[in-house]
Amino acid sequence: MDNEQVTSYPVEFLNSLELSKVPSHKLRLKIGVPVLLMRNLDAPRLCNGTRLQITHLGSNIIRATVMTGIARGESVLIPRIPIIPTDLPFQFKRLQFPLKLAFGMAINKAQGQTLKVAGVHLEKPCFSHGQLYVAC
C-alpha cells in the first residue's frame, strides 16, 4: 500500500470497534473464567469454538485447561496473535488473545458440545424445529 492510499484513523476509534470475528480491544479476564477460542490454533485439538478455562494470565500468554473436545483436560498455552479483519473497508491489525468470554453461548455455538449441566433460556420461540433439539 503506498502513502496515497493510507488513511489515519484515531486509536480511540479503532479500539472501539466491536466485530464478530475479532476479539475486543480490551479483554477483562480472570483465573477460572470460561472462554471460547476464536481461531484454529492447533487443529483438531484447539479449534474455533473450543471451550477453555483460564488457569494463568500473562501479558503475552494465557494458560488454560481444555473443557471440550479430544484434548479435554489438557493444559494449553494461548498466545496473543495478530488478527486482521477482512470485512472492513480499510485494513488494520489487532494483536490480541483469540478468546471471548463464554458464560453463555448461542444454540449454534453449543452444538456438538458435551455438557454435564445446561440451562436453556428461550424468551422467543426457535425459528426452526431442530434448534431446540440442538440446544438440549
Tell me: the pLDDT tens digits for 10-27? Answer: 778 776 777 667 777 678
pLDDT the model gives residue 53: 96
Q: Say yes or no: 119 and 62 in one domain.
A: no
Q: Say yes or no: 122 and 72 in one domain.
A: no
Q: How many domains does the chain have?
A: 2
DSSP 3-state of 61: strand
Q: Say yes or no: 14 and 27 in one domain.
A: yes
Q: Say yes or no: 74 and 110 in one domain.
A: no
Percent of the chain's residues with pLDDT above 70: 74
Higher pLDDT, 11 or 105: 11
CA distances from 28 to 42, 100, 135 (A): 24, 9, 27
Q: Say yes or no: 70 and 15 in one domain.
A: yes
pLDDT one-digit tens code per residue, 38-49: 889 988 889 988
Which domain, by its residues, includes 130? 104-135
